[in-house]
Amino acid sequence: MQVISSKDNEFVKHIKKLKDKKYRDMSQEFVVEGIKLIKEAIEEGACIKQIVICDNCLDSDIIPKELMYEIAKYECVYVTEKLFNLISDVNTPQGILAIIGRENGEAEINFSQDIIVALDGIQDPGNLGTILRTVDSVGLNQILVSKETADCYNPKVVRSTMGAIFRVKIIECEDLENTLKEIKKNKFQLVITSLQTENSVYDIDYNKKVIVIGNEANGVKQSIQNMADVKVKIPMFGKTESLNASVATGIVLYEYVRQKIKG
């Protein structure tokens, strides 16, 4: 077994470059790290290019044997512990990461689902990852993101999704407004959250709706607000004026779930 120990190795340089968005976009790859995410990637049939393993992991049994059997089916690259710590993006590495090939960001929208979620300029990686995880949890398999939205393949976003990154199709929109216009032509109504309305998120029927979640500081941009068919707000009894974007998304999507259960 050959173990890479030099930080000047070209493959190691490639992994380090994948921390940069421009390089991720150019190579159409991203990195996932940790036992759980590698397991999810294998189970979901992700496009795994290489799996990188710290040589010490083979002796410590930190990686379950049944997972090692699955990992062995892929191209595995072994590196020293010192080198793995250098390329890792977490404080306490588990000694395993994988390079994943990305799907086409211009994938077609699936209009057969009840609702579609669109993100207009979400910036916080934690919020973005949690929203992707929430979208997955309610059974949706796609999300639209504006070009102003943070990179969905940022390592922190990927970790926050807890595996949802492999199940939710990310559709990157060069012009979100034009994309929303096309969605409306497919008999969807555009819903945005706004304080300038008396309608509650609990007052509308979540069928054939596209729900736009806006930027944490500025909300949904005015030009998209002007396109809205329905404006809704989340009722609040306290003095807080607004909620975290991922929390607000969860409230709206789980009202959709409630309506589905109720039938």
Residue 105 has pLDDT above 60, yes or no: no
| Sheet arrangement for strand 3-4 | 3-4, 76-79, 47-54, 96-101, 29-33
- What's the pLDDT score for residue 195? 78
Which residues belong to CATH 3.40.1280.10 in the chain? 115-262
Lowest mean pLDDT among 35-49, 60-74, 77-91, 176-190: 60-74
Q: Return the percentage of the chain with pLDDT > 70, whole number.
A: 97
- What's the pLDDT score for residue 127? 95
255 vs 233: CA distance, rounded Å: 13
pLDDT, tens digit, for every residue of 13-54?
999 999 999 999 999 999 999 999 999 999 999 999 999 999
Q: What is the DSSP string of 11-61?
A: HHHHHHHTTSHHHHHHHTEEEEESHHHHHHHHHTT-EEEEEEEETTHHHHT
Average pLDDT over residues 5-11: 94
Threshold 0.95, pTM exceeds: no
158 vs 155: CA distance, rounded Å: 5
CATH architecture of the domain with residue range 115-262 = 3-Layer(aba) Sandwich (3.40)
pLDDT band at 1 (very low <50, low <70, confident <90, very high): low
Residue 106 has pLDDT above 60, yes or no: no
CATH architecture of the domain with residue range 3-101 = 2-Layer Sandwich (3.30)
- What's the pLDDT score for residue 216? 87
Residue 218 has pLDDT above 90, yes or no: no
Residue 203 has pLDDT above 90, yes or no: yes
More confident residue, 100 or 197: 100
Residue 99 has pLDDT above 90, yes or no: yes
What is the overall mean pLDDT for the chain?
Answer: 92
- What's the pLDDT score for residue 198? 85
Residue 62 has pLDDT above 60, yes or no: yes
